[in-house]
Structure 1
Amino acid sequence: MSEWKECKLGDAPLEIIDGDRGKNYPSQDEFFSSEHTLFLSTKNVRKTGFDFQECQFITKDKDEKLRKGKLSRNDLVVTTRGTVGNLAFYNKNIPFENIRINSGMVLVRPEPNKLNPLFNYYIFRFLQSDFETFSTGSAQPQLPIRDMKEIPILLPPLAEQKAIAGVLSALDDKIDLLHRQNKTLEAMAEALFRQWFVRGPELAEGEEAEESLEEGKLGDLVTIVSGTTPKTENPEFWNGEYHWTSPRDITNLNGLFLFDTERKITKLGLDQIGSGLLPAGSLLMSSRAPVGALAFAEIPVAINQGYAGIICDKGYKREFIYLWLKANMDMVHSYANGSTFQEISKSAFKSLDISIPDPKKMATFHSIIDNKFEKIRLNSIQIRSLEKLRDTLLPKLMSGEVRVEV
C-alpha cells in the first residue's frame, strides 16, 4: 500500500466545477422540449446514472451565453442540493453531445494522465454513502464544493486504478446488458399485446370483424385492495419481519420485480392494515404521486394507502393485467383527480371498462409471452446477485483491502 496516496478530493488530480448561476441562467420560458443543449434537472441524474425520460433543452444562443457547467466526455455529474450524491458518468455511450448542469449540481473533471476517468467514477460511487455526512442544512441538504474538497480518499497508481475500474465496470456492463435485455423482452410483450388485444378505430381492408367481446369492469377480473401506514411514531409497529411498501419502493425500482422493501413492520403493525399481507405474485400499482407505477411483488407484502394492490385470483394472469394497464394508462390517468396531487380511488380503479378476452385466445397468448416474463424475472435475480457482488467489492477495492493484479 506504500504506493497508494492519501489525499483530499481538493488535492486530487481533478477539477470540481459549479454551474453558471449568473444573470444568464435560463428562465422557465427559455426551456424547450427539443433544442441544441440538454439542460439537466434533478430528474435526469439518479443514484447510479442518467435518466432521460423527461428532458428540457436550451437554444445554442443561450448555451453560448453561459460560462461554466458544460460537460465534456468522461466528466461526472454529482447532485449537491436536495438529493445529495446522485451520480452520472458522461461517457461515450451518452447520446447527447451538448449537456449543461443546473444550479443543484457540480461536474467533476479528472486529469486523465493522473486519474483514470472510470476509476474517478468509482471513487464517487464509493463516497456516495459519505455525502450525507458532509452535507449541511435540514430543510434542503446541500454539499458545497468547499466541503466536498475536504473529503479524504485513497489514490492508487494509474495502472492499478485502471485494473480496479476494469473489475467493477465488467460487473456494471453485465448488469446493464441484462437491463437492456429486459427492456427488449418487455417491449416485445407490449407489442404482442397491442397486436392481439388493442384494435384501432377501423378494421383494416379485408379484415373480418371478430365476434363481439363481453364487456366488463377491471374489478370483475381481479381483486383490488388498498392499504395504510401504521403510525410511524409507534415503535411497536416497525422494524419487524414483514415487508411493507410505499410507492417509493417501485418508483425507485430499476426493473419490474420487487424483491425487497425499504421498511418492514411487525405483526402488530400488520394488524393495523385491513388488506393484510398480499401474496407473492401480486401486481402493485401506485395510485397517487405518481399514478401508474407498476411492479410484480415477488414477496408477500403489505401496502400503504398509495397503492392499488391487484390480486389475480379470478383466472386472469398478472402478466395480462399488467400489459392491459400499460396499454390503457391514459384511461387510468383520466380517472384520477385531486388538487394537491393526482390520485385514483379504489372504486374508480375497479370500475375501469375492460373487454373480457376469449379464454382460448388468452391461453394461446400466454403460451407466447409467459416465457418472456420468466426470462425477465430470472435476469432480475441475476442483476440482484451481480449488484450485491459489486457493492461488496467496491469498498474493499477502493480501500486496498482487496488488491487487483496489475
Structure 2
Amino acid sequence: MEAGMSRDGWRECKLGDVAKFKTGKLNSNAAAADGIYPFFTCSPETLKIDNYAFDEEALLLAGNNANGVFSLKYFHGKFNAYQRTYIINLNNSCDYKYIFYALQKEIKNLEFTSHGTATKFLTLSILNTIPILLPSISKQKAIVSILSSLDDKIDLLNRQNKTLKAMAETLFRQWFVEEADERWEEKPLSDIAEFLNGLACQNYPPVNDNEKLPVLKIRELSSGISEQCDWATTDVSKNYIIHNGDVIFSWSASLMVKIWDGGDCILNQHLFKVSSKEYPKWFYFGWCKYHLEEFIAIAQTHATTMGHIKRGDLDAAMVVVPLKKELETMTKQMYPLLEKQIGNSKQINALMQMRDMVLPKLMSGEVSVD
C-alpha cells in the first residue's frame, strides 16, 4: 500500500489504496414490493427485489443525488444495487465498518466536490482520492465497537418509535375511521387547530452570534439541521421560535407533517406551526396526517411552479370531534405513546450529537482506544 506514516503507527492513505469499486446493475424501476433481496438506490429507504447480483460484504454509496447528500450503507449478504450506486470492496488491512465510519467523517465534503448542477454525482477520481487515516486492524475494531454501541442504541430507539407510531395510527384509524360515532360533531380542520405560517427569515438576519437560531425550512424539516442551514435573529415573536415537540406542517413543495425534534429554531415561510389551546396534540396531529394524501393531491393540481395548498383547503378538510369525556379517555391512551416518541427522539438526537462529536476524535487518533 502506498501510504505515509502518521503518529502512533496510523497510516495516511487514500480510499483508492485500500478499495476497489463496482457499480450496480439495475435502474430504479426494477424494484418490487414483494421481493426478498435488498435493492439499494439513491433513496434513504432500502427497497426489495426478487433477485440479486452481489453476495458479499460491501459498502454501498449512492453516487448521485439531486440535493448533493449521498447515502452510505454497510451490508453483508445478497443484494442488488442501482446502476449509479458504488459497491466498495476493501482489502484485508481494513475493517469494513471502520471505513464506513471514516467515510461518514469525509462524506459531508463530497457535495462541494461532486460534479453536476441539477443532480450531483460522484466520479471514481473523487472516490479514489478521499483521505483515510488507518490504524492497526485491532484499533479499527476497537473504534468500531465504541461507535457501533452508540448506533445500536440509536437504532433501538428508532425501532421503538416506529412501533409506537404504528400503534398510535392504528388506534386513530379505529376510533375515527372504522368506529366513528354518529353523535360526534363534524368540524373543519382549521377549527381544531391554529396554523401559523412562518416568517420570510431572510428579512430577519442575525445581529450577533449569541442571539441567533437556525432557520427551519422544508429541507431541514426533511433532513434535519445541518452546517448548511441559514440563520435568523431570535428577536422575533416567540410564536415563531420552534421547540422540540412542536407540530410542523410543510404546505408547499414537499408536503409533510412532523413532530419537530431538531432543537430550537426559527420557523420559515411555507411551514405551519400547528397548535391548539382546546384540543390535545395527538388529536390535531393525527388529523393533519390523515388528510395529508388529500393535500398532496390538491398540491399537485397547483404545481405550475411549486405545488402547495391554501387556507381554504384546511377549511374544506373535515374532522370528527368526540364528546369531551370520550376525548379525555382517548387521550389517556394516546398521550403516553406520543410522549414516549418525543422522549426517544430527544435521546436519539443526544446520542447522535455524542457520536458526531467523538467520531472525528476517534478517527484521527486524538482520543485513544487503548
TM-score, normalising length: structure 1? 0.77
Instruction: Tell me how far apart the structure 2 counterparts of residues 157 and 259 of structure 1 sit (CA, whole Å).
Output: 32
Instruction: Tell me how far apart the structure 2 counterparts of residues 98 and 135 of structure 1 sit (CA, whole Å).
Output: 26
Question: 1:329 and 2:308 equivalent?
Answer: no
- Deviation string for 1:213-263 (max 9, x for gaps)? 21111121111232343447x96789862453212122225xxxx999933
CA contact (8 A) 1:77 1:101 kept: no
3-state SS of the aligned residue for 1:305? Answer: coil
3-state SS of the aligned residue for 2:303? Answer: coil
Residue in structure 2 matched with residue 15 of structure 1 by the alignment = 20
Distance verdict in 2 for CA 1:180–1:136, change over 3 Å: same
Instruction: Tell me how far apart the structure 1 counterparts of residues 154 and 286 of structure 2 sit (CA, whole Å).
Output: 25
Residue in structure 1 matched with residue 80 of structure 2 by the alignment = 99
For 1:8-87, what aligned pairs fall within 5 Å after superposition? Answer: 8-12=14-18, 14-19=19-24, 26=27, 33-34=33-34, 39-44=39-44, 51-52=45-46, 55=47, 57=49, 70-82=53-65, 83=68, 85-87=70-72
Aligned residue type for 2:275: I
- The answer for unaligned runs of 5 or more in structure 2 is 1-6
CA contact (8 A) 2:213 2:233 kept: yes
Instruction: Tell me how far apart the structure 2 counterparts of residues 311 and 386 of structure 1 sit (CA, whole Å).
Output: 28
Once the two structures are TM-superposed, the CA of residue 316 in structure 1 deviates from its matched residue by 0.3
CA contact (8 A) 2:43 2:71 kept: no
Question: 1:108 and 2:94 equivalent?
Answer: no
Instruction: Tell me how far apart the structure 2 counterparts of residues 219 and 339 of structure 1 sit (CA, whole Å).
Output: 23
Residue in structure 2 matched with residue 262 of structure 1 by the alignment = 229
Instruction: Tell me how far apart the structure 2 counterparts of residues 367 and 85 of structure 1 sit (CA, whole Å).
Output: 42
Distance verdict in 2 for CA 1:347–1:84, change over 3 Å: closer
Stretch deviating more after TM superposition (160-169 or 319-328)? 319-328
Aligned residue type for 1:307: L
CA contact (8 A) 1:231 1:237 kept: no
- The answer for unaligned runs of 5 or more in structure 1 is 45-50, 64-69, 201-208
Instruction: Tell me how far apart the structure 2 counterparts of residues 139 and 288 of structure 1 sit (CA, whole Å).
Output: 20
Residue in structure 2 matched with residue 181 of structure 1 by the alignment = 160
Which among 2, 5, 10 is matched to residue 4 of structure 1?
10
Once the two structures are TM-superposed, the CA of residue 16 in structure 1 deviates from its matched residue by 2.0
Count of residue correspondences = 358
RMSD, matched Cα = 3.3
Once the two structures are TM-superposed, the CA of residue 286 in structure 1 deviates from its matched residue by 1.2
TM-score, normalising length: structure 2? 0.83
3-state SS of the aligned residue for 1:88? Answer: strand
Aligned residue type for 2:258: L
Which among 169, 176, 185 is matched to residue 190 of structure 1?
169
Which among 138, 142, 149 is matched to residue 128 of structure 2?
149
- Deviation string for 1:181-228 (max 9, x for gaps)? 11111211222222222226xxxxxxxx94522111112111123234
Aligned residue type for 1:294: K
3-state SS of the aligned residue for 1:391? Answer: helix
Question: 1:305 and 2:269 equivalent?
Answer: yes
Once the two structures are TM-superposed, the CA of residue 325 in structure 1 deviates from its matched residue by 2.5
3-state SS of the aligned residue for 1:372? Answer: helix
3-state SS of the aligned residue for 1:75? Answer: strand
3-state SS of the aligned residue for 2:368? Answer: coil
Structure with more helix by fraction: 2
Distance verdict in 2 for CA 1:259–1:199, change over 3 Å: farther
